[in-house]
A and B are shown apart, each in its own frame.
Chain A
Amino acid sequence: MVAIRTKPDHHTYTFPGFGSEKFPNLLLRGAGDLNNWHLNVYEQQHEGYVAMKAALKMEPVAVTDEVKASGLRGRGGAGFPAGLKWSFMPKDSADRKFTRYLVCNADEGEPGTFKDRVILEYNPHQLIEGMIIGGWAMQCVTGYVYIRGEFLWLIEKLEAAIQEARDAGYLGKNILGTGWDYDILVHRGAGAYICGEETALLNSLEGRRGEPRVKPPFPAAKGAFGQPTTINNVETLAAVPPIMRMGGAEYAKIGSPKNSGTRIFGVSGHVKRPGIYELPMGTPMNFLVEELCGGSSTGKKIKAIIPGGASCPMLDEKDFDVPMDFDNLRARGSMGGSGGLIVMDESVCIVQATLRLIKFYAHESCGQCTPCREGCNWMEMILHRIEHGEGRPGDLELLSSLTPRIAGRTLCPLGDAACGPMDSALQKFRHEFEHHITHKTCYVQGSRLLSTVGAH
């Protein structure tokens, strides 16, 4: 057996009042404690596997209904209602039996996002329990966890945790006498952001290049190995045990209307206490950034915040009070995304920041569709020349004419994702781009976000 890493990480996980009724700790119970991943700790201290045992006594449909009642929306980015997604799975009939799969998306790769990692580090059994409950609700035969390849130590830990669950009889044949066979397998990725997209993930799971598929058919009809499949994010599945414990209706009371429950927000960039914060949906952004994270770490004013991972349009000062849930962020022209907040202070050159983001999309585009493959590269090249003092008059118009030709015209949402930061930067910080073109230097002096040694 491999040794499980016990190296502490430096993230912040908690704050005064966390765990009280106002700030329930449904996902980060015991986070920070490196022994917490063991089954006995989870069962003895955190009501572990109570929900699973209750769910296995219920009709599968009733479990799905409970998740529907909770109003849980997917935490992977799009915020799609989880219970509804589960109900799309075809059911067995007298003349047709299906092989169904549940896939957990643990490919966390969205820049600014580091929340699934915490669940895998401290609470893997909560994910396993969620996957057993989901597997029961949809009557799946196997659950796959697709986990990014860089998380090798978490893969080792998750496999050890799964083995503990097998030994306890929670996975395998005839689970707890129900006659239902189910196991969880871990599949290691190999470094491709696009494999987070659900159909690219399925291709990668099947041993192919991680290129997104044309939809329809949707995974619920034809997913992994051609069989009906549901794909959920780690955090979505880990939210299922608390839902089953407290009941869907009770869970629905947490958070804001139509955006129930808690969510893990990861804050990075220029704040005093960056880290991981579990908060009810709809918590105002400035409460998190100013009160919990202690505000700017540099003493300079905060200029822009990307509210949900790199793909979300950035927000400026006037929107810092936005309640963080899917609908409110959308109303302000951004997205809830993956819950990763990237905080930038006044010392940041927005042109450099945008270039770095677009470089990421140009690098990670799978290359299947022309608007994304060519468009992202063109945006990168134009931004590159603006940043390096070679911008031309008309470049900004050129950039604005590119994004509508990419967004909405691609096979998967990566193309749209690249346009979010681009459009919002141009709209909110246009003067910085103009300054670059006319004065050939940064509007803010001394910003150094780009390395000078080689590129990839």
Chain B
Amino acid sequence: MNHPQSPETSKEPLAPGQRLPESERKEFSAEALAEIQGIMAKYPEKLAATLPALHIAQREFGFVSLAAMKAVAKAIGIPEGHVFGVATFYTMYQKAPVGKYHFSVCTNISCALRGAAQLLEKVCEKTGVKPGAGPSPDGMWSVEEVECLAGCGVAPCVQVNHDVYDELVDEQKLIEVMEACKRGEYRPWAQ
């Protein structure tokens, strides 16, 4: 079951039937709207654009808030409830803000055999944030524990911002990766 993540302001997970708090309205940029229109045209049914549009929403707004879900529903012309259901099912849609550099640390079996548990602790220690507890005060870092990233042969495996994989990560490598982030060599979140 994909447990709903805490909404942007509340510290508690959502109870059944509970709604995400209202937040300010979000409007897609004209380019994003055009992109969503283009995607809708590629599929036999417009509903199929839901996942791609949520990815675009995450890129545009940084994370998938309730307002972002509403914007997606409006852009495609489908019920808000549908978008909410989809967004809360998939773990890659962040339902709360993340840091400029979001670390996804795989702790599944192959990585665990090669020290992923210790690595996760190191990542938390160095960034000063706990998994799933939102970004660090300076907004730089956030950490998430994830399932297999299909990098098992070069474990342990860490993904930074859903586009760079770093493999065979030990403490030295971790420091290098964090330094590279600070120098801006990695694409920041939502770009």
Q: Which residues of A contact B (CB under 8 A)?
A: 7, 9-12, 99, 108-114, 116-117, 148-153, 185, 187-193, 204-210, 225, 266-270, 274-276, 306, 310, 340, 342-344, 348, 353, 356-357, 360, 362-367, 373, 448-456
Check A344/B113 contact, CB under 8 A, given A209-B89, A274-B153, A367-B1. Answer: yes
**In whole Å, how far is B68's beta carbon from the nearest beta carbon of chain A?**
14
With known contacts A207-B50, A363-B147, A9–B154 Cβ distance under 8 A: yes
Q: Which of B24-32, B95-103, B126-134 has 4 or more CB atoms under 8 Å from chain A?
A: B126-134
- Residues on B with C-beta less than 8 A from A268 are 110, 113, 152-153, 155
Contact flag A193-B147 (CB < 8 Å), given A365-B1, A453-B124, A454-B131: yes
Listed A/B pairs (23) with beta-carbon separation below 8 Å:
A7-B164, A9-B167, A11-B153, A11-B154, A110-B148, A112-B152, A116-B150, A148-B150, A190-B91, A191-B91, A192-B90, A193-B148, A208-B47, A210-B90, A310-B148, A340-B152, A342-B109, A360-B108, A360-B109, A366-B89, A367-B2, A451-B118, A452-B117
Q: Is B168 an interface residue (CB 8 A)?
A: yes
Known: A451-B117, A453-B131. A274 touches B150 (CB 8 A): no
Chain B residues within 8 Å of A266, by CB? 152-153
Asked if A150 and B45 make an inter-chain contact with CB atoms under 8 angstroms apart, the answer reads no
> In whole angstroms, how far apart are the Cα atoms of A190 and B176 in the complex?
28
- Chain B residues with Cβ under 8 A from A276's Cβ? 153
Chain B residues 136-167 with CB under 8 Å of chain A are 144-155, 159, 162-165, 167
- When the two chains form their complex, are residues B147 and A360 in contact, meaning their CB atoms are under 8 A apart? yes
CB <8 Å contact, A204 and B112 = no
Chain B residues, CB < 8 A from A152: 162-163
Contact call B108/A356, Cβ cutoff below 8 A: yes
Q: Per-residue 0/1 for B27-60: is the Cβ within 8 Å of any A Cβ (1 yes, 0 no)?
A: 0000000000000001111011111101100000
Query: Residues of B at under 8 Å CB distance from A?
Result: 1-3, 42-45, 47-52, 54-55, 82, 85-86, 89-93, 104, 107-110, 112-118, 120-121, 124, 130-133, 144-155, 159, 162-165, 167-168
Report the nearest B residue to A344, measured CB to CB. B113
Residues of A within 8 A of B42 (CB): 185
Complex Cα distance, B166 from A379, in Å, reads 32
Collect the chain A residues with CB atoms within 8 Å of residue B113's CB: 268-270, 342-344, 348, 449
* B interface majority secondary structure: mixed
Given contacts A10-B168, A353-B109, 15 further A-B contacts (CB under 8 A): A114-B152, A117-B150, A148-B150, A150-B92, A189-B92, A204-B51, A269-B114, A274-B154, A363-B3, A365-B1, A373-B1, A451-B117, A453-B121, A454-B124, A454-B132
Bound: A348/B52 CA distance, A = 41
Contact among B132, B146, B153, B163 for A114, CB-based, below 8 A: B153
Would you call B153 and A267 a contact (CB within 8 A)? yes
For B117, list chain A residues within 8 Å (CB). 448-452
A452 to B107, CA, bound (A): 11
Q: Are A366 and B48 in contact (CB under 8 A)?
A: no
Contact A192 B49 (CB under 8 A): no
A225 touches B45 (CB 8 A): yes
Known: A348-B113, A455-B145. A10 touches B89 (CB 8 A): no
**Which 9 A-B residue pairings sit nearest by Cβ, starting from the closest?**
A191-B92, A207-B50, A190-B90, A268-B152, A268-B110, A451-B117, A367-B1, A111-B148, A191-B91
Q: Which chain A residue has the least Cβ–Cβ distance from B110?
A: A268
Give chain A residues whose Cβ lies under 8 Å from the Cβ of B130: 453-454
Determine the chain B residues whose CB is within 8 A of the CB of A366 once the complex forms: 1-2, 89
Do the beta carbons of A111 and B108 come within 8 Å of each other? Answer: yes
When C-beta atoms are compared, the residue in chain A nearest to B108 turns out to be A111
Which of chain B's residues have a CB closer than 8 A to the CB of A99?
44
Taking a contact as CB atoms under 8 Å apart, the answer to whether A450 and B47 are in contact is no
Please report the C-alpha to C-alpha distance between residue A206 and residue B107 in the assembled complex, in whole angstroms. 30
The distance in angstroms between the C-alpha atoms of A282 and B184, with both chains bound, is 48
Q: Which residue, of B2, B86, B148, has the highest number of chain A Cβ atoms within 10 A?
A: B148
How many Å from the CB of B125 to the closest CB on chain A? 9
By the criterion CB–CB under 8 Å, are B55 and A188 in contact? yes
Contact flag A209-B85 (CB < 8 Å), given A190-B92, A192-B2? yes
Chain B residues lying within 8 Å of A362, measured Cβ to Cβ, are 1
A190 contacts which chain B residues (CB < 8 A)? 51, 54-55, 90-93
- CA distance in complex: A188, B130 (Å): 28
Q: Which residues in B have their C-beta under 8 angstroms from that of A207?
A: 45, 47-51, 86
**In the assembly, what is the distance between CA of A455 and CA of B131, in Å?**
7
A206 near B55: Cβ-Cβ < 8 Å: no
